Homo-oligomer: A and B are copies of this chain.
Amino acid sequence: MKRVFGIDLGGTTVKFSIVDEAGQIHEQWAIPTDVSDNGINIPSDMVESMREKMDGLTGDERPVAIGVGVPGPIVGDVVERAVNLGWTNMPLGRALKSELGMPVALLNDANAAALGEVWMGGDPESAGGNAVFVTLGTGVGGGVVVAGRVMNGDHGCAGEIGHSPVAAHESRLCGCGKKDCLECYASANGFVKTANELYARAGSAHTFTSGKEVFDEVAAGEPLAIEARDLTVEYLAQALAQVVNVIDPREVIVGGGLSYAGHLLMGPLADRLRDYVFPGVRDRYVLRRAVLGNDAGALGAAYQALQEIAG
């Protein structure tokens, strides 16, 4: 059974996995990400680490391709920019391929996580279908899988669900420069901000610093926390419904910090999403939480590499 490298390239660490065609992870290790000099040393550090690992492996143990999830848009085999790494137009694919002599697949990190979740996180039957994946963390990331392949888009920007416009009752500036993106309201930060605003407006001095704290109040039946949760769910359901209506998926997958709230988030989200989707798809998709956690990206990157060598 073939094995490939599945790499999750982040601003702090580069996490390597060796993954086989069945999705089993055989080895995992990490190196620090050297962001000095606009991250110029990162590709050679990656090559060195993979070379060292390969020296200890023989026969079928040796990976035959490389998949890398990168925090930025990918066009061809070039990372167009990655702010956290200091990169602009970094030809990462070519660099790894020429040094290691094996096929290299690059994909955006959120797209990698989407692909990983679709491949190994759910019903194996779903792996060949369409899916939408959204992560509710510091920001809102996303990825879309079509017929088992992750969409990259014509400019490396497909799946940017977090920057869908929402019709909010107030105005918030997004990190992307736009106003009132989904991310301003459905990220953990946005959710906490909404809760703090509602509490302040009600004259409470209580301030939250994490989504978990707000969900603890939701669990306790606190009306203002529930109102904040419902607003977040409302914006998220509207944005997800648009994606569901456009791609008609088998799976709608929610990950990231807020998803740990479980049914407190997913229950109302299921109801609102059901209201908003086209009747022809209603009750025909599975809405579920992401289950792979930090391994999703490495698995998705590995899967992309396996798809490329399969042709």
Contact = CB atoms under 8 A, between A and B. Distances in A.
Interface of A: 73, 129-130, 132, 142, 144, 146, 151-161, 163-167, 176-178, 238-239, 241-243, 245-250, 275-281, 284-285
Nearest to A276: B165
A245 B129 contact: no
Contacts of A176: 278-279
4 A-B pairs with least C-beta separation: A153-B248, A167-B167, A158-B248, A157-B280
Contacts of A146: 146, 151
Contacts of A177: 279
Given A144-B247, A242-B242, A281 B161 contact: no
Number of copies: 2
B178 A248 contact: no
Most buried by B among A152, A158, A177, A242: A242
B281 A153 contact: yes
Contact of A161 (B245, B279, B284): B245
Contact of A73 (B239, B247, B280): B280
Contacts of A153: 130, 247-249, 281
Given A153-B130, A155-B284, A246 B160 contact: yes
A155 B280 contact: yes
